[in-house]
Every structure is written in structure tokens, then in C-alpha cells.
Amino acid sequence: METTETKTQVQAAAPATPKPAAVKPAPKPAAPTAPAENEVKPIEVEPSALRKEMERLKAEDMDFLECLTGVDWMEEGLGCIYTLTSTSTGKVVHVKTATLDRENPLLPSVSDLWAVANIYEREVFDFYGIRFTGHPDMRRVFLREDWVGYPFRKDDETEKNNPLRMTNEPLADDTEELVLNADGTVTSKRNTIFADGDYVVNIGPQHPSTHGVLHFRVALEGETIKKIDPILGYIHRGIEKIDESLTYPQTLALTDRMDYLGAMQNRHALCMCIEKALGVEVSDRVKVIRTMMDELQRIDSHILFFSCLAQDLGATTAFLYGFRDREKILDIFEETCGGRLILNYNTIGGVMHDLHPNFVPRVKELIPYLRNSLKELHALFTGNVIFQNRAKGVGVLTKEQAISYGCTGGTGRAAGWHNDLRKTRPYAAYDRVKFNEVVREGGDSFDRYMIRMDEILESLSILEQLVDNIPEGSIQEKMKPIIKVPEGTYYSAVEGSRGIFGVMLISKGDKSPYRLHYRSTGLPLVAAMDTLCSGSMLADLITIGGTVDYIVPDVDR
């Protein structure tokens, strides 16, 4: 096994270079000699040198912080793995840093370089207790503010320290910032979130249009929004923590429950990560099936997006038309996978069932049907002058902001950022289908909406190309009864329904992952809400929230 101690500049091969479609001999045992193609060899940096190194990388055009994974390596210390991507070249660099101080671990913050690091670093602080100097808002993000300990540390006594609390969660109006002085000392200072005179309205956690249990504290000036502070974690289930005690096949069961409208893609990402780490090549048939299922899921998600947006804007009728059409896709899913929302379809090395005989006819029926009904939805809702007035020019996110906030998927593409992983790092069968990456320039709510509506058409065209060309082959590679991923760090990502869904897997060679981190598609979107909404009106919050399309179980995990 190769260790990650040497300071090499090797980058992860898998995400950067597209895999050729050539079929390798199918059942291939895990080859521990050759490094898996998605193995990550991070640049190792001392905490003291981290800041300088990150500034250098940022200057080198690594402008997108794709993922930030907190890890407790025990004897190697507490630390993070930063996954940086260049939006212009597609180059990916992983940087690893760790501190041995478990009592008072400190790392320099990079939240001024990449805006999304703000919430990622809060997440790491929440789970590992690493405090970031220079971070303006060092609060917990998912757990309660009165939580004791840091549950993702391997030596944390979570249940002992945290009995079920029957009191309301305290919500502070100010926050801590650690300032690293020039002489190396650290001082603490308080930052205000909401001042005394602010008119703060709670949107959520139980609110009709937060799409789940999300809580925004909104400071209003009349009807105009001054500031938004998202309070997350109401449905945080600690999936990443649970995964550390599950076997690899068992971890799959939980992926469907994060982004429930991207269940296929989530599970695809995890399966792909494990398969590549094991060196298993799935058959062509499986690749095509997974691609088709991903696209069906994407259509499903985008139609639901349409419906919910319409509902939020008060067009209840359009909402039901969307649901009527979505039903057709759910039927296809249910017939082949046995589930409608919790699909439970991909497995390590294949898929759960072969395609149902009705699958192909049903998909063929669906394609013209959906194209037709999309026209109806456009006529009813898209063209409507009220909707246009409510969406155009509302919640503009520039390309630079989108990259800095890591807003991938439709939100990023609406701002002109070409970030579709299906194009930039093709996986599964995406290298053999023709489709357009839908990109618009405006970055407002209307563009975000249109991106998704147009993507439905692109997905239909992908389905059309594949539905008659499903190759024969095995649907499940032979796997060992107990799957053990060789020691190492692996990263794979897919284009989920609403952005890049990444899986960072750290294995110590056991039957369970040592650390499994999901790059949530929704967390950066929620983090960007404050920027998106400031200066807009209260009603725009609903439009913006609807069009950036976050899914709360995916944000909270």
C-alpha cells in the first residue's frame, strides 16, 4: 500500500481525466498493487504553512473549493482535506493538513479566499472541534449550541455527554471570531449577527416554503431583507457518523435518504467511489442503466422543482400538473427498483435488479409525453407575466460569486459557470451520448428556473439515445462476501440533480469506512442565501429559495 506521507504533487487521476469507454475484462478482483484511479494523494501541509499554500493555490487559479472534509486521524492528528478545483483547466488538487493538538486545535481559516469555506469550516468545527483563526462566525452549524463535545472525533463520548435535552435550543445573537495576532497569540472577539434593534422574523423551521425543516432568521427593514442567518441541523441524522460503523453495502442504504430527489445519483456516487477504490469495473450494461436512471431521477427532480416553485409562488394548479407528470417517472422507478422515493437500486458492482421488461416501452412512452406536457407547463407558468416579473432580476448571483460559494448545478450554470461534471469529468455512459450543457448568463431566478426546464429536455434526449442501445451484459459483478476497501483516501463525484455530489472515502482497510464524507449539493446553496437575498424583498426569499433548489435532508445529512 502506498502511504500518503510523501509530499508529492500528485493529483487525483480519476476526477480529472475522463475514463475511456473501452470495456475491460469484466470480473476483475481488487488489485492492491495498482493504485485505484480515484485514489487521492493530497499535498500535505503543516497548519502553519497552510495559509500561504492556499493563497498560492488560489492565485494559481484553483478558484473552486469543491469539498472540505474534516478527519480525525487519531495519531496523525485532527485536520482537514481540502479539495480544490480549477474551473478553467479542470485540474483537481487535494490538500491535507492536520494538527496534533487535540485540546485546542487551531487551523487558519480560508473563508476569505473561498466564501463557501465559511460554512464548511463551521461544519468541521461542529464535528471535530477544530477552530479556525480568522473565521468571522465560529458557531456550530448542525448541532445545538449547547452540545457538549465533538461527536465525529473517534474518542468522543457523545451519548454520555449529551442526554436528551428538553429545553429549547438557545440561539445566540452574536458569535466568536478568533484573531491570530502577528506574534502568534490568539485572541477572541465577539461579532454581532443581529443587533438589538433588528426586526428578526423566523422563516422556519416549520414553514410551508422552506422545503423541509430549514430555519432562516431574517432581519427585515420593512419588507426588505437586511440579513439572513440560516440555522441548520433540524434533520441532521449524522449519516456520515453512522456510516463509520456500517459495512460498505450497508452504507448504501442511507444515501437515498439524503437528497431524496437525487437518490440515484447519490448512490451512484458512493458505488462508483467504492468500485473504483476496489478496482472493480462494472459492465457496460450497468453503466448505461445507471446513466438512464440518473437522468430519470434528474427529470423527476426538476419537475418537482417546477412544482414546488409554482406552489411557493401561489400557482397551486401548476404544482399539481407537475406532480401529475412526475407520477409517470415514479411508476417507471417503482416497476424496476421497487421504490418510488427510496429507490435502493445501485449496488457495489452493479444494480439490484435487471431492468423490468416494461422499462423500455414505458420510457419510450414517457419521452413524447413529457415533451408535450412541458409545453403546457411553459405556457401556463413560464410565460406568465406575473411569474416573469417575480423571477427576472431577482436574486442575481454572479459567476464569481457562484464559484466562490461553490454553487454547482443549475444555480452555477445559470450564472454562466460551466460546471456540469457529465461534461467536464464524464463517468458512466455520459461520454457516449450527445447532449448540451445548458448554461445561461443572467444568474437570476428566472435563469435558474429555465436551466432546469431546459435540462429536462436534454435529459430526455439522453434517454432517447440510450433507450434503444442498452447493451447486454451482467448486471452485477461478483463481489466478495465481505467488502474491504484497501487503505487509502478516495474521492468520486457525480453530477447530482442539483450540483456536484462528491464522496470522500477514507479507508483503513476495514470492512467499514474510516471516514465517509459527502459533498452535499445543498449546503453551499444555503450558505449563499444571505448574499442572494440581501436587499431583496421578503417575497423574493421564497422565489430565490425555490429556484436555488436546496433539499434540506441533503444539507443536513
Partner 1 sequence: MEEKNYFEGLFCGIKSLCTGLKITMREFFTKKITQQYPENRKELQMFDRFRGALVMPHNEANEHKCIGCGLCQMACPNGSIKVTSEFYETEDGKKKKRLVKYEYDLGCCMFCMLCTRACPQDAIEFDQSFENAVFDRSKLIQVLNKEGSKVAEK
Partner 2 sequence: MFDFKIVTEWLHGALTGIMPEWAAILTESVLVALAVITLYAVFAIILIYMERKVCAFFQCRLGPNRVGKWGLLQVFCDVFKMLTKEIINLRNTDMFLHNLAPFLVVTASMVTFACLPWNRGAQMIDFNVGLFFILAASSVGVVGILLAGWSSNNKYSLIGAMRSGAQIISYELSIGMTMLTMICLTGTMSIQGIVEQQYAEGWNIFRGHIPAVIAFLIYLIAGNAECNRGPFDLPECESELTAGYHTEYSGMHFGYYYLAEYLNLFICAGIATLVFLGGWAPLHIAGLDGFNNVMDFIPGAVWFIGKTFFVVFLLMWMRWTFPRLRIDQILALEWKYLVPISMLNLVLMALLVAFGLHF
Which residues in this chain contact partner 1 in the complex, by CB under 8 A? 246, 249-250, 252-254, 317, 321, 324, 327, 334-339, 342, 344, 352-353, 356, 376, 379-381, 383-386, 388
Q: Using CB distances below 5 to 8 A depending on partner kind, what does residue 314 bind out of partner 1, partner 2, none?
A: partner 2
The rounded distance, in Å, linking the Cα atoms of 50 and 81 is 11
The residue among 238 and 249 lying less far from partner 1, judged by its C-beta, is 249
The rounded distance, in Å, linking the Cα atoms of 251 and 247 is 6
Q: For the segment 330-389, give every residue that binds partner 2 (CB under 8 A).
A: 380-381, 384, 386-387, 389
- Quick one: which of 27, 29, 208, 509 contacts partner 2 (CB under 8 A)? 208
* Nearest one of 203, 195, 205 to 174, comparing CA atoms: 195
Helices 445-467/538-548 angle, 10° precision: 20
223 makes contact with partner 2 (CB under 8 A): yes
Contacts with partner 2, 489-528, as mask; x by CB under 8 A: ----------------------------------------
- Quick one: which of 85, 87, 109, 311 contacts partner 2 (CB under 8 A)? 311
Rounded to the nearest whole angstrom, what is the least distance from the CB of residue 253 to partner 1 in the complex? Answer: 4
Contacts with partner 2, 19-38, as mask; x by CB under 8 A: --------------------
Eight-state DSSP code of residue 39: B
Q: Count CA atoms closer than 13 A to 16's CA, side-chain side.
A: 18
- Quick one: which of 189, 324, 478, 480 contacts partner 2 (CB under 8 A)? 324
The rounded distance, in Å, linking the Cα atoms of 228 and 126 is 20
Q: Using CB distances below 5 to 8 A depending on partner kind, what does residue 538 bind out of partner 2, partner 1, none?
A: partner 2
How many C-beta atoms surround the C-beta of residue 325 within 10 A?
23
In angstroms, the first-to-last Cα distance of the chain is 32
Residue 157 CA to chain centroid, in angstroms? 29
Rounded to the nearest whole angstrom, what is the least distance from the CB of residue 445 to partner 2 in the complex? Answer: 12
- Residue located via cell numbers 441532521: 236
Rounded to the nearest whole angstrom, what is the least distance from the CB of residue 449 to partner 2 in the complex? Answer: 12
- Residue located via cell numbers 461553490: 406
Rounded to the nearest whole angstrom, what is the least distance from the CB of residue 443 to partner 2 in the complex? Answer: 20
**Reduced to 3 states, what is the DSSP secondary structure of residue 427?**
coil
The residue among 111 and 536 lying less far from partner 2, judged by its C-beta, is 536
- Quick one: which of 226, 390, 452, 498 contacts partner 2 (CB under 8 A)? 390
Using the CB atoms, write b or e for 505-537: b if 16+ within 10 Å.
bbbeeeebbbbbbbbbbbbbbbbbbbbbbeebb
The rounded distance, in Å, linking the Cα atoms of 200 and 435 is 46
- Helices and strands (H, E) in the chain, number of each type: 19, 16
The rounded distance, in Å, linking the Cα atoms of 510 and 50 is 30
Eight-state DSSP code of residue 43: E
Q: Using CB distances below 5 to 8 A depending on partner kind, what does residue 179 bind out of partner 2, partner 1, none?
A: none
**Do residues 109 and 68 make contact, with C-beta atoms less than 8 angstroms apart?**
no
The residue among 207 and 399 lying less far from partner 2, judged by its C-beta, is 207
Report residue 6 as a C-alpha cell.
Answer: 510523501
- Quick one: which of 321, 449, 518, 550 contacts partner 2 (CB under 8 A)? 321
For residue 17, the one-letter residue type is T
The residue among 10 and 352 lying less far from partner 1, judged by its C-beta, is 352
Contacts with partner 2, 531-550, as mask; x by CB under 8 A: ------xxxxxx--------
Rounded to the nearest whole angstrom, what is the least distance from the CB of residue 482 to partner 1 in the complex? Answer: 10
Contacts with partner 2, 260-299, as mask; x by CB under 8 A: ----------------------------------------
SS3 readout for 309-348 = HHHHCCCHHHHHHHHHHHHHHHHHHHHHHCCCCCCCCEEC
Rounded to the nearest whole angstrom, what is the least distance from the CB of residue 555 to partner 1 in the complex? Answer: 21
The residue among 228 and 337 lying less far from partner 1, judged by its C-beta, is 337
**Reduced to 3 states, what is the DSSP secondary structure of residue 118?**
helix
The residue among 356 and 364 lying less far from partner 1, judged by its C-beta, is 356
DSSP 1-20: ---S-S------HHHHSPPP
Q: Using CB distances below 5 to 8 A depending on partner kind, what does residue 352 bind out of partner 1, partner 2, none?
A: partner 1
Q: Using CB distances below 5 to 8 A depending on partner kind, what does residue 65 bind out of partner 2, partner 1, none?
A: none
Residues found near partner 2 in the complex (CB under 8 A):
199, 201, 203, 207-209, 220, 223, 310-318, 320-321, 324, 380-381, 384, 386-387, 389-390, 537-542
